[in-house]
């Protein structure tokens, strides 16, 4: 089975515009949480993410894709403000994953010995009415890429976490 590889791409100002997924899509909560940890590590680097931002997985390819590319995780906009996606904006087609990334300026590190860290969450929307639970992961990382927090859960209630609540609203039909 091919591995999951990611490559970030950026805007002209070098802020994160998204990620190209190579090899295959992540197939489990654990793999999506590992992807999140890498994305948060990139977001922790100075200047790569100016404010909290929403990302969503799309089954599209970049122009002139590498033959191993399978899809994109694109920035949908800032988490708040006029340019932010609105409830339901990411409902069609339903994304396999939604992420929120928070830069160091908007993250309170989880332990006192960490001075600066970025953080994020990933929601893998389920269909609870059909017995398919929502799944989620959380990560925190320092600018050098050190992962300081990594957690994943199956059977989450999006209303119990502010990041997941926002992501769930964006993909609610």
pLDDT of residue 26: 96
pLDDT in tens, 38-47: 999 999 999 9
Distance CA 149, CA 169 (A): 25
Please say whether the beta carbons of 37 and 26 come within 8 A. no
**Average pLDDT value for the chain:** 91
pLDDT in tens, 110-152: 888 899 999 999 999 875 555 567 899 999 999 998 999 999 9
Distance CA 41, CA 116 (A): 12
- The answer for residues whose C-beta is within 8 angstroms of residue 78's C-beta and 6 or more apart is 51, 52, 53, 54, 84
Structure tokens at 131: 């017995």
- String of DSSP letters for the chain: -PPPEEEEEE-TTS-EEEEEEESS---SHHHHHHHHHHHHHHHTSTTS-SS-EEEEEES---SS--TTEEEEEEEEEESSSTTSPPTTTT-SSPPS-EEEEE-GGG---SSTT--S-EEEEEEE--BGGGTB--EEEEEEE-TT--EEEEEEEES--GGGSHHHHHHHHHH--
pLDDT of residue 125: 87
* 23 has a pLDDT exceeding 70: yes
Q: Is 137 exposed, middle or buried (0-12, 13-18, 19+ CB in 10 A)?
A: buried
pLDDT in tens, 65-79: 788 999 999 999 999
């Amino acid at each position: 089975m091919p591995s999951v590889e990611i490559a970030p791409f950026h805007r002209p100002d070098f802020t994160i515009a998204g990620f190209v997924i190579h090899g295959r899509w992540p197939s489990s909560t654990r793999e999506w949480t590992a992807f999140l940890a890498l994305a948060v590590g990139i977001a922790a680097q100075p200047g790569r993410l100016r404010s909290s931002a929403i990302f969503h997985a799309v089954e599209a390819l970049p122009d002139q894709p590498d033959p191993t590319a399978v899809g994109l995780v694109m920035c949908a906009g800032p988490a708040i403000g006029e340019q932010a996606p609105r409830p339901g904006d990411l409902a069609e087609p339903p994304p396999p994953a939604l992420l929120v990334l928070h830069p160091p300026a908007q993250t309170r590190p989880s332990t006192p010995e960490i001075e600066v860290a970025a953080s994020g969450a990933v929601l893998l929307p389920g269909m609870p009415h059909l017995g398919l639970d929502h799944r989620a992961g959380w990560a925190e990382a320092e600018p050098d890429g050190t992962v300081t927090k990594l957690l994943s859960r199956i059977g989450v209630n999006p209303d119990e976490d502010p990041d997941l609540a926002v992501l769930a609203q964006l993909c609610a039909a």
